[in-house]
Amino acid sequence: MTDTAAARPAPPAAAPTVGSARFWRGLGFLVRDLPIAILAFVVAVAGFAAGVSTLIVWLGLPILVVTLEACRRIADIERRSVEWATGTPLPPHHYRPSKGTGVSRLLSALGEPQSWRDLLHGVVSFPLRIFTFCIALVWTVGGVGATLSFAWQWSLPDDDYGLIWLITGVQNRFADTLLDTVLGLVLVLTSPLVVRGLVALRAALARGLLTNQTAALRARATQLESSRRAAVQAEAQTLRRLERDIHDGPQQRLVRLNMDLEAVARRLDDDPERARPLVAEALEQSREALTELRALSRGIAPPILADRGLGPALAAAAARCPVEVSLDVALPEGRRLATAVENTAYFVVTEALTNVAKHAHASLVTVLVSADAERVLVQVRDDGRGGAHLGKGHGLAGLADRLATIEGALDVVSPVGGPTILTAEIPIAGLGEGR
């Protein structure tokens, strides 16, 4: 398919329109952010001073933490403003999560380096913001005013002295007006370049203090390593469970079937009538073994999921559940999700239904599945006795590991007495194209 935007040239008026929009965005960014600059400076300086001065009585610890959190929020506003003004995203940043409780959590928050960089930005950027505010305002407004000097020069008193008098010592109102108009035109014509340079200066400071690409990449690598470990653990748990289920079910039936067939082989010659019930029993054992194998295969990836998609597969799983299931699936019409997304969503629902059937003593399960451009949201709610949690060694922990392999998230709310609400978020980006 041909890229239409590349094949057809843009109309000549598009470039000035884009440049004009960028100029007004930059000017608005430089002018409107002065109150935020004052707020950031006051919060950073006053909070830091109050916190450090009262550290000896431990009151300064929460003051510093609150100050850093406020600077962090203001820094988020600055990042969004810079990206809006420049039209390009900033490099990534990363905040280390606070750990522990009480005083240890406060100390962990104080040890977060990016928060201190945010505070430093609030202090350092204050004079820069005042400078860029003044230059942008004077350059643009002064340029427009000087360009229109012919409209207001007549109102000045006759003894007013202009630039011509300062340069030549001769007072000439017409020459003053002409010179002011020329200078105003120069300011107006160069104002887009000046505004762009001032925005670039502000963006450079934000890029230097409000971003930390190295820390972000390091955190991303740690997250990927954790996902890899979770994938290995989830795969090992799945294999152990599959091995146990095969050993306890189909394997035992196949052993029994083998013994029955050996008995049939011995009795066919001497007593065929006594071999007949053994054949019937062997057939029953083979049917039950086949049924159990089909159930195990459905738990991994059923054919209906590959052939017809997530909705019909979940409907089939809900029909097999011994507990009544209310199913609501809202997925994009006419488009299949990526295989990894469908498999994971199916696994989440079937595992949740299995846990409900075994442990919840519920009478109704509600399953909601929805999707947008970024994620698939799966929610399973039951009216059982509650008490489910993500503790190590429990079934839900394996479900969390399975989601971690694709950078998904699992949340379980299950107070004692119920209800239990299991929510899974499955990202779509990076898991392949839909079908």
Give pLDDT, residue 414. 85
Which has more pLDDT, 112 or 215? Answer: 112
Cα(377)–Cα(314) distance, rounded to whole angstroms?
A: 14
Q: Sign of dihedral through CA atoms 260, 261, 263, 264?
A: positive
Distance CA(48)–CA(197), nearest Å, equals: 32
Residue 341 — very low, low, confident or very high, per pLDDT cuts 50/70/90? Answer: confident
What type of residue sits at position 383? D
What are the residues whose beta carbons fall under 8 Å from the beta carbon of 264, sequence distance 6 or more? 275, 278, 279, 282
The predicted pLDDT at position 9 comes to 37
Alpha-carbon distance of 322 to 147, in angstroms, equals: 82
Write down the H helix ranges in 33-112.
34-53, 60-86, 103-110
Cα–Cα distance between 55 and 58 in angstroms, integer?
5
Q: Give the pLDDT score at 4.
A: 37
Over 60: is that where the pLDDT of 163 sits? no
Query: Which DSSP symbol is given to 338?
Result: P
- Distance CA(208)–CA(216), nearest Å, equals 14
Contact between 339 and 399 (Cβ < 8 Å): no
Residue pLDDT, tens place only, 173-211: 666 677 777 888 888 888 889 999 999 999 999 988 888
In this prediction, residue 7 has a pLDDT band, given cuts at 50, 70 and 90, of very low
Q: What is the DSSP letter of 432?
A: -
Which residues are bridge partners to 379 per DSSP?
Answer: 368, 423
Q: Return d(Cα 112, Cα 248) in angstroms, integer.
A: 52
pLDDT value at residue 399:
78
pLDDT at 125 over 50: yes
Nearest to 425 by CA among 404, 398, 394, 396: 404
Give the SS3 label for residue 13: coil
pLDDT at 8 over 60: no
What residue type is assigned to position 324 of the chain? E
153 falls in which pLDDT band (50, 70, 90)?
low
Q: Is the separation of the CB atoms in 356 and 384 below 8 Å?
A: yes
Q: Please write the tens of the pLDDT for every residue from 230-273.
A: 555 656 666 666 667 666 667 676 777 777 777 777 776 676 77
**Which has more pLDDT, 165 or 114?**
114
- Given CATH 1.20.1050.10, say whether it is the number of domain 305-427: no
Q: Which residue has the higher pLDDT, 5 or 32?
A: 32
- Output the average pLDDT for the chain: 77
Handedness of CA 230, 231, 236, 242 (dihedral sign): positive
Nearest C-alpha neighbor of 114 from the set 93, 91, 83:
93
HEC letters along 354-419: HHHHHHHCCCEEEEEEEECCCEEEEEEEECCCCCCCCCCCCHHHHHHHHHHCCCCEEEEECCCCCC
Which pair of structure tokens corresponds to residue 270? 């001497």
Q: What residue has token string 């919060």?
A: 43
